């Protein structure tokens, strides 16, 4: 999608949509820190509707704080600690 071509239908009609991070636990959303911020964006195909979501480059550093590495998540799942 970042190349400008839809990975599902090969259309070149790709649009960018900004996305706000929610601070509400009632709204399932990507969550990086507190408050409503523009942490991510979508790339959406005008022809088939397929979308990809990317964290904005300037916010990627927050992953270490609010996320966990895949290796750590797998280890926790193996121990039965993941919800």
Minimal distance, residue 29 CB to Zn ion, in Å: 24
- Cβ atoms of 32 and 23 closer than 8 Å: no
Q: Where are the alpha helices (DSSP H) in the chain?
A: 63-66, 70-78
Query: Quick check: 51 binds Zn ion (CB under 5 A)?
Result: no
Shortest distance in whole angstroms from residue 54 CB to Zn ion: 17
9 binds Zn ion (CB under 5 A): yes
Residue 43 and residue 54 in contact, taking contact as beta carbons nearer than 8 Å: yes
Choose the binding region for Zn ion from 10-18, 31-39, 59-67, 71-79 (rule: CB under 5 A): 10-18
């Amino acid at each position: 999608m970042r190349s400008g071509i839809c990975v599902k239908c090969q259309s070149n009609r790709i649009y960018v949509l900004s996305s706000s991070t929610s601070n509400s636990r009632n709204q399932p959303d990507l969550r990086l820190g507190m408050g409503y911020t523009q942490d991510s964006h979508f790339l959406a195909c005008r022809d088939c509707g397929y979308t990809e979501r990317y964290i904005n480059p300037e916010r990627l550093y927050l992953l270490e704080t609010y996320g966990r590495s895949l290796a750590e998540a797998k280890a926790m799942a193996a121990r039965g600690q993941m919800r």
